[in-house]
Amino acid sequence: MDLEVYNPWWKGREGIEEDEDYRRWNSSKVKWEPPLLRMLLERENIEPFSLHFIFGPRQVGKTTLLKLLIKKLLETVNPKSIFYLKCDILADYKELDEAIREYLKIKKFESIEKAYIFLDEITFPREWFRAVKWNIDMGNFKNDILYLTGSLSMFVKEEIETFPGRRGKGKDFIMYPLSFREFVQVIDDNIIRSIGELESLDMNEVRSKCFKARPWLNRLEELFELYLNSGGFPLSIRSILESGKIGQDVINTYLSWIKGDIVRLKRNESLTKRVIKAVIEKVPSTISYHNIAREFEIKSHRTVFQHLDVLEKLFLVKVLHYIDPNEAVEVFYKQKKVHVTDPFLYSILSSWCLTRKPEDSVIVESIVASHLSRRYNIGYWKNSKEIDVVAFENKHLIGIEIKYRKRVEGSRTKIGKIDYTITLSKDQYNDEPLIVPVSVLLALLNTS
């Protein structure tokens, strides 16, 4: 295998400019550095031995992240101490091991003590973990830092669990689609620098910082409308910012990703589509697995559960459980709320499942739930009233009501350990009960 093709910087540091992924990023009219890049460069994360896993939805920018990390490392390290391999060209663990052995020879010849090894899309070669485990056990990586990327299907297939005691200082990193705050930062970083960020959902802090951000409300509303169409995936964002719409080629790329993961995980595509259709048509109502199975002609409630579990691990949906407000615990036997995790995914999945895309107010509730779930454990509460999202923060429960329309009434719901409820509106502010615009709160919410 010609490893130099994948490592053009071996000819000299400036070789990174020849790398196709880096060149595509560098020449784009719309580009940004993923927030995860800063975390990966922290001193504690570049100490050997470390086996890091970086996973997330496909087409979320993991390869670009690696190339930007390599660009940063090239400023200070020997170019030949950086080894990158795109693993989707490999058939199985034998071919992977052969490529690793070839690099280890180069490493020895160049007297490299510490290497940075990037194995991108590691889940493609069959039984890939056998090659990685064997080399770890043989001590071939004892002074190195490994970065392995793949989809969340690694969780579904429990492949990460095959490395007990073999991770060293390694960590798991999840790369999400851009949050609304990150989206705003890409377009107008001045806004983010001006408004700051929320350190908590404390009612007084939310009130103070959201009210201070009021001068930027109109602009944030405009950007939120744009985000409702683009979502947080890089290709869809670039497409809508550069041409004002999302091209069919972009839609086809992401749909192929979804269908490909379903096939790789040996799930029935027809059944998966029925479950997704049920989610879209029922959101934001509560559902039971039994009712979904009966209404959408699925064999059993267990089949519904299994498919939703896979969809959640692929970051396509987020399942919210009922929260007992008195005990502050999730109640798993009660009905669930299920949200699609990104507004762009609503467009793709609705079309694929031949069903109507939900109204914006529904999608906004899903955006809020998805964003909060990156930072907090969340659920919902319901009896004669309902709280759309309940967030666990420290030992407190905080209610979030989403009413994406004009002229809303704030919620005064307090029950059990739910101390207060914040109402999110389209553009309305109110001091007591607290109402703030959803675009403002999400622009202040740092999810990374």
Which residue among 174, 196, 224 closes a domain?
A: 174
Pair 262, 166 in one domain:
no
Pair 69, 191 in one domain:
no
Pair 67, 191 in one domain:
no
Tokens of 111: 């007297």
Which range has the worst mean pLDDT, 47-56, 80-89, 258-267, 360-369?
258-267
Q: Which of 408, 411, 409, 356 is nearest to 388 (CA)?
A: 411
Number of independent structural domains in the chain? 2
Q: Quick check: 310 pLDDT over 80?
A: yes
Pair 20, 139 in one domain:
yes
Pair 161, 261 in one domain:
no
Pair 137, 285 in one domain:
no
Pair 207, 123 in one domain:
no
Q: Scan for tokens 């400023």, then name that residue.
A: 75
Strands 145-150, 322-324: parallel, antiparallel or unpaired by DSSP?
unpaired
Pair 122, 214 in one domain:
no
Q: Quick check: 161 pLDDT over 80?
A: no
Pair 310, 187 in one domain:
yes
Tokens of 43: 């001193």
Torsion of CA 150, 155, 157, 160, to 10 degrees: 80
The string of pLDDT tens digits covering residues 321-336 is 999 999 999 999 999 9
Pair 207, 152 in one domain:
no
DSSP-derived letter for residue 375 is H
The string of pLDDT tens digits covering residues 224-249 is 999 999 999 999 999 999 888 998 99
Note down the domain range covering 38: 3-174
User: Would you place residue 31 in the very low, low, confident or very high pLDDT band (cuts 50, 70, 90)?
Assistant: confident
Q: Quick check: 199 pLDDT over 80?
A: yes
Pair 358, 373 in one domain:
yes
